[in-house]
Structure 1
Amino acid sequence: MDVVKVVDLCKFYGTGNTKVEALKNINLTIKQGEFVAVVGASGSGKSTLLHLLGGVDKPTSGKVYIDGVDIYGLSEKELAIFRRRKVGFIFQFYNLVPVLTAEENMLLPLLLDTKKVNKDHFEELVNILGLQDRRHHLPNELSGGQQQRVSIGRALAYSPSIVLADEPTGNLDSKNSKEIIDLLKISVRKYNQTLILITHDLNIASQADRIITIGDGNIIKDEVINSEIL
C-alpha cells in the first residue's frame, strides 16, 4: 500500500533573475512500512521535499497525498489537525518545551488534541526508548541523546502513518547516533510506520530499505537496498 504519493511536485522561490527552483516535477511513491533515506548535497532540495511531505510548506505546484488524502486540498485548520495526527516530525534540534518534563513533551501532541492517552502504547514507547528513569526530568536535565529520544517519543506518541526525520543524529556523537537510528528502526518496524529520513551520513543511509538521491531539485537516483520490504 502506498502511504505517500507525490505528483509533479515543484517548489520555486523568488522570481526572474532571483528565481530558485528548489524542486522540479518530483514524482514519488512510498509504501507503508518502508524506511527511506534521502541523501544529496547541501541545497539539493532534500529538506524542501521533507517539509512539503509534512505539510509545513506549500508547493508552487503539484500534489502530495498522505494515506490517500490530498493534503494541500485541506484548509489550514484541517491540515494542522491532519499533520498532528498523521505525521511525526523529528529534527536535528530537539525543539522540546523547556518547562515540560520528558513525559509531558512526549504527550504534547495528544494533549493539544485533547485525546485520551493509550497508556499501554505510551508505556511500551517509554520502554523502547529507554526513558523509564528520565520521564519526569526537564530537558535541561537530559543528555543530547536522551533529548532526542524524547523528541522521537513525541513524534511516535500519536502512532502517525509517517515519520519524517531531518538529520536526527546531526548533533550527536557516533555512539548516540547509532542508538537513535537503531531505536527508529525498531519503532517503525514494530508499529509498521513509514520512516523518511534525511542524512548526510552514508552509513546511516545504507541501513534503509531504499535510498533516494536528490540533486538540483531532481531525483537523480532511486535505489532499493532491502527488497524484502518492498
Structure 2
Amino acid sequence: MEVVKVIDLCKSYGKGNTKVEALKGVNLTINQGEFVAVVGASGSGKSTLLHLLGGVDKPTSGKVIVDGVDVYNLSEKEISIFRRRKVGFIFQFYNLVPVLTVEENMLLPLLLDNKRVDKKEFQELIDILGLEERKHHLPNELSGGQQQRTSIGRALAYKPSIVLADEPTGNLDSKNSKEIIDLLKISVKKYNQTLILITHDLNIASQADRIITIEDGLIVKDEVNYSE
C-alpha cells in the first residue's frame, strides 16, 4: 500500500546569482513497510528531500502526500500535529532533551499530544531497544549508542507511519552502527512502518529494500535491492 507520494517536488534557496536549486522536480512513491536508503554526495539534495517528507521545510512547488494527506495544504498548526503523529525523526546528533530521562525523552511526543501511554507496549519498546537499565538516566549519563537508541525509541513511541533517519549512525563506531541498523530493521518490521534512511555508508544502504541515488537535486537511480 502506498504511504508516501512525491509529485514534481522542487525546492530552491536564495535568488538571482545566489539561487540554489536543492530539488528539481522529484517524483517518488514509497509503499508501507519498505526500507528505503537514500544515497548521494553532500549537497545532492537528500537531506532536503527528507525534511520535505517530514514537514520540516516547505517546498517551492510540488506535493508531498503521506497516508493520503497533502501535507503542504495543511496549516502550520496542522503540520505540527502531522509531524508528531505521522513521522518519527532520527538524527545524527540525537537531539535529546538534556533535563529529561530516557523514559521521558521517549514519551515526549505522546505527552505533548496528551495521549495515554500503553505501559505494556512502551515496556516492549524499552526491551527491544535494550534500555531497561538506563530508562531513568539522563542523556549525559549514556553512551552514544544508548543516546541513539533513546532517539529511536522517541521516534517509534507514537507508532508513526514513516520513520525518517538522517545519517543515524554518523557519530557511532562500526559495532554500534550495526546494532542501530539491526534495531531499526527489527522495529519497523514489527510495527509495519516505513523507514527512509539517508546514509553515506554503502554497507548500510545495501541492507535496504530499495536504494535511491540523488545527484544535483534529481533522482538518478531507484533500484530494488534483490540481494537483501
User: Structure 1 length normalisation: TM-score?
Assistant: 0.98
Match of 1:123 in 2: 123
Q: Does 1:163 align with 2:160?
A: no
Aligned pairs for 1:60-139 within 5 A: 60-139=60-139
SS where residue 133 of structure 1 aligns? helix
Which 10-residue stretch deviates more, 113-122 or 85-94? 113-122
Distance 1:48 1:22 in 2: 7
Distance 1:118 1:168 in 2: 27
Distance 1:226 1:127 in 2: 31
How far does residue 226 in structure 1 lie from its aligned partner after superposition?
3.9
Residue segments in structure 2 that go unaligned for 5+ positions in a row: none
Match of 1:153 in 2: 153
The one-letter amino acid of 1:206's match is S
Distance 1:226 1:180 in 2: 22
Distance 2:138 2:174 in 1: 24
Aligned pairs for 1:20-31 within 5 A: 20-31=20-31
After TM superposition, the runs of 4+ consecutive aligned structure 1 residues lying more than 4 A away are none
Match of 1:5 in 2: 5
Residue segments in structure 1 that go unaligned for 5+ positions in a row: none
The CA deviation string for residues 91-116 of structure 1, in whole angstroms up to 9 with x for no partner, is 00011111110000000000111100
User: Structure 2 length normalisation: TM-score?
Assistant: 0.99
The one-letter amino acid of 2:190's match is K
SS where residue 134 of structure 2 aligns? coil
Q: CA RMSD in A?
A: 1.0
Question: Number of residue pairs matched?
Answer: 228
Distance 1:118 1:200 in 2: 36
